[in-house]
Amino acid sequence: MLPNRDIKLPPYVGWAISAGQTESEFRTDGSPLDTNWSRGTRHPERLAFLQSSGLLNKHPEKMFFIGNACKFETHWHSDMEMVKAYGGNIFRFGVSWARCHLGPGKFDQEELERVARMVMYCNRLDIMPVLTLWHWWEPGWLDNLGSWENSREMLKYWCEFVTEVMKRLRGRQLIICVLNEPTVHAMFSRRWTRDGNEWLPQYEKSDEAFYDILKALAEAYVLAARIIRDADPTIPIGIAHALNWNVSDIPGLKESWDWENGDDFYELVHETGAHIDPMLPLFDYDGINNYFLRIKLRGKEERAGWDGKVAYDPDPPLSAICDVVKEKPWGMTPEGLYWLAKEAWQKHHRPVFFLEHGYPTGHEFENMQVWDTAGSLYWIDKARSEGVPVMGITFWSLLGNFEMSEGFLADFGYAYVNLETQVRSPRLAMRFIRDCAHAGRSIDASVRAKWSPIITRSFKALHYATEQ
């Protein structure tokens, strides 16, 4: 049962997407959009994995390629209006570096203007925009130059790109997420290969390459911070840092996942900042992406929510990817948000933003998405009641986005998107947030009465938690 008291929502509650996972693979003239992400999806070893896993036998091929995706590039007006209509007052979206940056010194001015229009439209709707500058997707021509392996060239064009974006954002009300999950990008693309498959990058995989990428991204953050501060010092900046409550028990990930959980990247940024510009203010908030507890704490009490029940399979999942391949729901522990917020505040004394937390649902797991949403808001409220300044959460994700490994199978969307018709259908969890917004931005008695049968666990959630 929910606690018999009102649970207050944090100042900001809304949704997040990324450009590379919701926008199509085509430019406005119909020509292909060349990105490192699109190239990765067509790598021969990825195709071999799709065959060997049996996924292509069970699902249409179009489920594993970006294609038109959710066409956010043409539907962004109505998508932002949907955020507003369902109680959201914050929306995280990204700049498509590949769409904007056509080559050295060459930019698509129409795409850059679209970025400014999206920010302004959010402002008009009284939605706080959170703009992500780098969410792993890069132009193909930079991939040809070696991406972050060729750090000097990459940093030069990165600064060129950030400068062009910021020319259009001076005086706008927004928050900027400079980098998304730099440690995870470096780990998956340079240090660890999934099930022995080498299909993500064409570059060397090694510890040395892994650390070199992190150093380059730390410098990229500092250089972008200086450009942003010079353009408009009032815009809050930070990163979306992937954190999990506990560490992985996957042998191939155990050591490298320490980078995801630790402060090592922050230390690299501060070291780089001290060298480049010791007076530069580097962070305004702690951005956190969190999904699930990766190992079962054997022999210890397990608490995933106020009802004392776990929301993940008691047989520890090896990874999210394995869960989707096995067609099981993800293991979720919304209580992790509470502990991560407390830890971040104690370490850094910066406001905390949860920039990603979500549940790949599909129609059969919608109740679990509601349960996780309610649990997340409960644990954030608990952290705030204990003095932790959690400013908000942008749930992942607004739309049924494309995932590199699983394609469109791992459907995180709070709104289901029919990829043929592009019709958006808000799921139960969006309606739950709308009800909370209408109830004075809280889970009050009326919300508890209406949603109690779902948020105290669905039958399927109980089945997976107790019977598997």
Residue 137 near residue 24, CB atoms below 8 Å: no
Q: What pLDDT, on a 0 to 100 scale, did the predictor assign at position 80?
A: 98
* Rama region for 446: left / alpha / beta (φ>0; ψ in -120 to 50; rest): alpha
Q: 377 in a domain, yes or no? A: yes
Q: What is the mean pLDDT of the segment spanning 88-93?
A: 98
Percent of the chain with pLDDT over 70: 81
Banded model confidence at residue 460, pLDDT cuts 50, 70, 90: very low
Helical (H) or strand (E) element with 432: helix 428-438
Q: Is residue 1 part of a domain?
A: no
- Note the pLDDT of residue 321: 35
Residue 292, helix vs strand vs coil: coil
Q: Tokens 């047989």 identify what position?
A: 315
**pLDDT at residue 221 in the model:** 98
Cα separation, 145 vs 359, whole angstroms: 36
Q: Is residue 2 part of a domain?
A: no
Query: In whole angstroms, what is the distance from residue 392 CA to residue 92 CA?
Result: 12
- Output the pLDDT for position 203: 74
SS3 85: helix
pLDDT higher than threshold 80 for residue 446 = yes
**pLDDT of 280 over the 70 cut:** yes
Q: What is the pLDDT of residue 200?
A: 56
Tokens of 233: 């010092």
Assess if residue 362 is contained within a domain. Answer: yes
Assess whether pLDDT exceeds 80 at residue 365. no
Q: Is residue 241 part of a domain?
A: yes
DSSP string, 44-75: HHHHHHHHHTTHHHHS-GGGGS-TTTT-HHHH
3-state secondary structure of 91: strand
Contact 47, 53 (CB under 8 A): no
Positive or negative, the Cα torsion across 20, 328, 50, 409?
negative
What span, in angstroms and rounded, lies between the C-alpha atoms of 80 and 92? Answer: 10
CA–CA dist 271, 301 (Å, integer): 40
Which contacts (CB < 8 Å, 24+ apart) does range 229-235 have? 229/280, 229/281, 231/166, 231/167, 231/169, 231/170, 232/166, 232/169, 232/170, 232/171, 232/172, 235/169, 235/172, 235/174, 235/175, 235/176
For residue 334, being part of any structural domain is answered with: yes
Residue span of the structural domain in which 299 resides: 7-466
Q: Which positions ≥6 away from 144 have C-beta within 8 Å? A: none
CA distances, 312 to each of 103, 220, 335, 403 (Å):
46, 37, 12, 21
Structure confidence by residue, pLDDT tens digits, 333-363: 777 888 889 989 999 999 999 999 987 776 7
How many domains does the chain divide into? Answer: 1
Identify the three-state secondary structure at position 354: strand
* 272 in Cβ contact with 218 (< 8 Å): yes
Is 128 a residue whose pLDDT tops 80? yes
Q: Of 114-128, 193-207, 452-466, where does the model show the most confidence?
A: 114-128
**Residues 311-335 pLDDT 10s:** 433 333 323 333 444 455 556 677 7
Quick one: pLDDT at residue 330? 59
Question: Given this model, what pLDDT does residue 257 score?
Answer: 56
> Whose CA is closest to 260, among 288, 286, 285, 284?
288
The domain that holds 271 is classified in CATH as 3.20.20.80
Structure tokens at 254: 């155990």
